[in-house]
A and B are shown apart, each in its own frame.
Chain A
Amino acid sequence: MRKRQPKTYPRLTHPLVRDARDEPFRRADWPEALDRVARGLERNRDAFGMFSCARATNETNYVAQKFARVVMGTNNVDSCNRTCHAPSVAGLSAAFGSGGGTSSYEEIEHTDVIVMWGSNARFAHPIFFQHVLKGIRGGARMYAVDPRRTSTAEWAESWLGLNVGTDIPMAHAIGREIIHAGLANEAFIRRATTGFEAYRALVAPWTLSLAEKVTGVPARAIRELAHAYARAERAQLCWTLGITEHHNGTDNVRALINLSLLTGQVGRWGAGLQPLRGQNNVQGGGDMGAIPNRLPGFQDILDPDTRLKFESAWDTVIRPHYGLNLTEMFEAMEEGTLKAVYCIGENPAQSEADSEQAVRRLTALDFLVVQDIFLTRTAELADVVLPATAGWAETEGTTTNSERRVQRVRRAVTPPGEAREDIDILCALAARLGHDWKYADSEAVWNELRSVSPDHYGMTYDRLAEHQGIQWPCPSTERLEPTYLHGRLWETEPERRGTPAPFGLVRHDPPVDLTDEEYPVRLTTGRRLDSYNTGVQSGGYPSPLRRGEYIELCPEDAERYGVVVGEEVRVSSRRGAVVAPVWIDTALRPGLAFMTMHFPDEVDTNQLTIEANCPIAGTAEFKASAIRVEKLPVATIVR
């Protein structure tokens, strides 16, 4: 087997600048680089967007969004949250008013039924899956819903191999079956939800047999899952990008949340909803307000009282409307209304769906500054590149994980060359643009955040160290809250119960990129165990498991196309084409292929994916493209 070494990226050690995009970069000192950035941003004050970083610290995200809102006067701030879990945040906040997962890892060890839906946590979230395994070893039954029979699915009592993009039919059929079998939790529905009657009518047509027709999964299997979930004393429903990376990702999330409302599997210890986050600080980036519609502490920008609080804290005026999200910012680039971007630690040139289009749009900007630790593909397009420190090993601060646990990150090594911390750079730029912010250290930033975010108020750095991280909400410095959210829904007093959770009335809408005779194969994407996103970090170590990018086919399809393992084939979609070697995986079935985005320098999978975005959350449909696989005229076998 070949061991392809992916491209390794050396660290950036000095600022890089250039006068025109067709010139090569030249090394600059910090004052010159910062001056250039200040000028570039200044002249685009009304056409600015900030790409904050889901891998940077909470403190960086806080200062970055503050930079956008205070220095640049815009709510156009977002992060790669958009490309993965924004639908989870949108769906959860629509139902419960808060965008976090409702449970904790430990709870899954003590639950009775676990549903892993569109999640190969065994590969993508290995240490979370250890908690799942503890649950399984303790007697929990796990069900896996996934088009592929993944490593995760191999642990399941029952794996349901549905068609890509038929999650809503599956969820609705489960809901209908629960209602028809008399297993709905009527007391919970009555007290803690709204819209049940409409929901009942909505799912009424989704009989098991119709669902079998649409999803491809036998009715018996769906029925069994429905009964297991509804009858469990405690059940956990977990999902990952298989649910969210669809053009209707938020609807998918709502359809799953409905099942928890129907059965009362939320708001109790051991029962809840757990979206698994893709980046180390996706959760924190959103919590810190690095999203266009929320201020720090997940507080709504449209709420005047909230705005007032921040306006007095920051001595500024906050625009009373939502900003553009990442997807909308890219569209605004196309329209020419967004002309300058400050990109911190993101690599949209390779991580966005339809990457060719993304590169074209970034190239057309009047000014692009990229702040990163590597010269990524995106950085290569910039006017100025600023060398930053690695968030997790060279910076003090905090990050927030999938169970809402805020934990300290610390500086362990000295950054290379002249690399500077993100906050330091942001403050230097703010100063050049007329805002003299003084933060002695990251803790000072954090304490400012605590003063404006009630959910974080109780988390001092000392307490975070003492408890090995604290989960939000944590309003008090004296006590810790329960590890699950929305216990209020079970209160008997209506006023303490608060706003009831509405059922989401969402309809099935198949993937945008339809398969047909020309593009007969459904391509879905995901992660491998040893690699991560675009491979910029994970390419740096020698993994014995890594074999580079392949298009994975089922044995039957490989036979049909007359191709063997390692043979290069042309893979085309309606947007682009790549050449990739073949891998054969029995976890797939005829008409279903799989690729990752880990090796974009070898095979740029996102040339194939479609930028069909969720209208609510803006996430693209990475999980469903239509492709064609063609044997090359001269067979090349890569080994």
Chain B
Amino acid sequence: MDLHFGDSKPTDEERAAVDALLGPPESSWEGADRTDADLRWARGGRAARDRRDLLLPGLHAVNDRIGWISEGALGYLCRRLTVPPAEAYGVATFYAMFSVEPRPATVLHVCTDLACTAAGAAGLCAGVEKGAGPGVHVERSPCLGLCERAPAALAIRAGDPVRTAVAAPATVTAALLAATAPDSAPEEDPPALAVPQAGQEGLTLLRRVGVVDPASLDDYRANGGYTALRHAFALGPAGVIREVTDSGLVGRGGAAFPTGRKWQATASRPEQPHHLVCNADESEPGTFKDRVLMEGDPYSLVEAMTIAAYAIGAHRGHLYLRGEYPRALARMEHAVAQARARGFLGADVLGQGFAFDIEIRRGAGAYICGEETALFNSIEGYRGEPRSKPPFPVEQGLFGRPTVENNVETLVNVLPILTMGAPAYAAIGTERSTGPKLFCVSGSVDRPGVYELPFGATLGELLQLAGVRENLRAVLLGGAAGGFVRPDELGIPLTFEGTREAGTTLGSGVVMAFDDSVPLPELLLRIARFFRDESCGQCVPCRVGTVRQEEALHRIVARTGADAAGDVALLREVGRAMRDASICGLGQTAWNAVESAIDRLGAYR
């Protein structure tokens, strides 16, 4: 491609960061010194253009090393990958974790989302912003997925290697220490502390969290690891799909699509290759179960992905991991490397002649990338904008090929399905919602964390388990894209059909309890701001609608009754169009929580 590059040159440091990822440039056309051979023959074409998917890792490499992405660095990366600089700029500016302006090497993300706001994030922010020196850039952040330890802060210090530290629950002092001295900040709580039931009998999905050493493949195997994969090889791909279909497993990400059907649809497509993508871009405010699984039991995800890939005939799996999850990333990278070293991944898994490997890709701060097709674009090196469906991912997914995308929780459910058999698994839960389910409980409870219950337990039972506090005002189910229910609705059964019948949603399993310490209009405004900030901007209803929604909520933040009625009507009209006419789930659900607060909780009445 005849690309145009400006005059800016990369610094040695920036060049080194890119070369560490991509290796040294092969010719002067890619940025090396000119040699005589270069001036006679140059390769390019498809091979050069086909490396676009390394753009996001390349941007990370520079951002990790320098803290921001300069013109020179972007230009060099583009030259290396044959990517047009304008497009790379469009990609870099899409993600909240990247900056194309100079900034200090250390960025301190302070969560200001719902659970943290309820736990005093406003004060934390004010204190941190006052106390941070010139070397720290403070960023008010959407949910960091640390809701069980609210309020939370995450420090990232660029360098070689990049350093991170989490302060949660954070005080001003702890957060500043994490930012100024990430290496000497206190070790984060182990993941088991996020699982109040840890070590209890009867757990299926969480049974190894806090029990096994998450770094040890042998420990994983000693605790039942890789039995499921053995079963899978014995069953054959079709057998695995049959088991998964018969188990009644449906996707745990929120859409509740039958997993077996998705696998079957992909497996039967004639186009090759097939792809497996694990969506670990857990960004729904209030959700942190996938993080806990990956931090506490990483090999289970490696094994589950191997089984899924075997079933659908994929030889390459992508694990798209949320950018704000440094510990989960480290654990998964370690687990994948170990599995590869020991032949559990690679050209001949378990000597069964099946080739499979996993590439880990980090998100960079974009809620929308949790949308399955936006995630494909993100991996491919494009802006993380959703694609229109149809075609569906099972037909044309990653790199335009048949793709199964499942989230972490869905995949790890495959292990018990294969070890206990579909009938036994299907016997857990209710007839239409089978199996165990993870819930992320946070907010006004004594024991926040991830809970595992069979489908069918009621909301009240779950909150009881978590130690719900007095003065419960509302419960948010499903996160920002979900809906509020009243304290008198705790009998709602936590199943897909039960919540649907009650006119609400289970979503990804968020259960956030609020007492009356935070005014409801403030929470709604935070939710509205979240959607406005996270809208990719592609379609009009969402891009402008989320702005108009936030503006209206601002106007009525202190109004009720007739004073608010006009804007409430306006919200309804805009909300209905966002739900009906937006491209993807983000816009379609951006008005859910507000609507439920108005209709169910009587907000602004």
Contact = CB atoms under 8 A, between A and B. Distances in A.
The answer to whether A and B assemble together is yes
Interface in A366-408: none
A161 B45 contact: no
Interface stretch (A216-224, A449-457, A615-623, A628-636): A216-224
Interface in A568-614: 586, 589-590
B42 A158 contact: yes
Interface string A195-232: 00000000000000000000011100100000000000
Contacts of A158: 41-45
Contacts of A586: 28, 34
A159 B44 contact: yes
A142 interface: yes
Contact of A155 (B2, B34, B41): B2
Contacts of B47: 157
B39 interface: yes
A216 B41 CA distance: 9
B1 interface: yes
A23 to B, nearest CB: 51
Given A555-B34, A586-B28, A151 B42 contact: no
B46 interface: yes
B37 A218 contact: yes
Nearest to A151: B2
Contacts of B29: 149
A154 B49 CA distance: 11
A153 B44 CA distance: 9
Contacts of B40: 160-161, 216-218, 221, 589
B2 A159 contact: no
Interface in A545-569: 554-556
A141 B2 CA distance: 16
Contacts of A153: 42
A556 B44 contact: no
Contacts of A136: 45
Contacts of B126: none
Contacts of B43: 157-158
A68 B560 CA distance: 93
A232 to B, nearest CB: 14
Given A151-B2, A155-B2, A586-B28, A221 B41 contact: yes
A122 interface: yes
A512 to B, nearest CB: 24
B42 A159 contact: yes
A118 B2 CA distance: 17
A136 B42 CA distance: 17
Contacts of B1: 154-155
A157 B41 contact: no
Contact of A156 (B34, B39, B45): B45
> What interface size band does chain B fall in?
10 to 19
Contacts of A554: 39
B341 interface: no
A155 B43 CA distance: 10
Contact of B44 (A155, A160, A221, A589): A155
A161 B41 contact: yes
Nearest to B40: A161
A156 B44 contact: yes
A157 B2 contact: no
Given A154-B1, A159-B41, A217-B40, A141 B46 contact: yes
Interface residues of A, number: 26
B155 to A, nearest CB: 42
Interface in A107-157: 122, 136, 141-142, 149, 151-157
Given A217-B40, A218-B40, A157 B46 contact: yes
B394 to A, nearest CB: 24
A149 to B, nearest CB: 6
B33 to A, nearest CB: 11
Nearest to A162: B40
Interface string A160-171: 110000000000
B187 to A, nearest CB: 51
A155 B45 contact: yes
Nearest to B36: A589
B234 interface: no
A108 B307 CA distance: 45
Interface in B202-218: none
Interface in B1-49: 1-3, 28-29, 34, 37, 39-47
A554 B36 CA distance: 12
B45 A142 contact: yes
Contacts of A218: 37, 40-41
A154 B84 CA distance: 13
B37 to A, nearest CB: 7
Contacts of A154: 1-3, 44
B238 to A, nearest CB: 33
Interface in B159-179: none
A141 B43 CA distance: 12
Contacts of A160: 40-41
Interface in A331-374: none
Given A122-B2, A586-B28, A157 B37 contact: no
Contacts of B42: 149, 153, 156, 158-159, 161
Nearest to B82: A154
A589 B38 CA distance: 9
Q: Which of B34, B37, B47 is the most central at the interface, judged by chain A CB atoms within 10 Å of its CB?
A: B34
A15 to B, nearest CB: 46
Contacts of B45: 136, 141-142, 155-158
A554 to B, nearest CB: 8
Contacts of A142: 45
A221 B2 CA distance: 21
A289 B34 CA distance: 50
B473 to A, nearest CB: 57
Contacts of B2: 122, 151-152, 154-155
A53 to B, nearest CB: 33
A149 B3 CA distance: 13
A122 B3 CA distance: 12
A586 to B, nearest CB: 7
A385 B363 CA distance: 70
Contacts of B46: 141, 157
Contacts of B28: 586
Contacts of B39: 149, 161, 554, 589-590
Nearest to A157: B45
A160 B46 CA distance: 17
B34 A157 contact: no
Q: Which of B28, B41, B43, B46 is the most central at the interface, judged by chain A CB atoms within 10 Å of its CB?
A: B41
A590 to B, nearest CB: 8
Interface string B234-265: 00000000000000000000000000000000
A221 B46 CA distance: 16
A355 B494 CA distance: 89
A229 to B, nearest CB: 15
A151 B40 CA distance: 15
B21 to A, nearest CB: 23
Nearest to B28: A586
A233 to B, nearest CB: 18
Contacts of B37: 218
Interface in A480-510: none
Nearest to B46: A157
A154 B27 CA distance: 13
Interface in B510-554: none
A556 B34 contact: yes
8 contacts: A141-B45, A153-B42, A154-B2, A154-B44, A156-B42, A157-B44, A157-B47, A159-B42
Interface of B: 1-3, 28-29, 34, 37, 39-47
Given A151-B2, A158-B45, 5 more contacts: A141-B46, A149-B42, A155-B45, A156-B44, A586-B34
The 5 closest A-B pairs by CB, nearest first: A157-B45, A589-B39, A151-B2, A154-B2, A159-B42
Interface of A: 122, 136, 141-142, 149, 151-161, 216-218, 221, 554-556, 586, 589-590
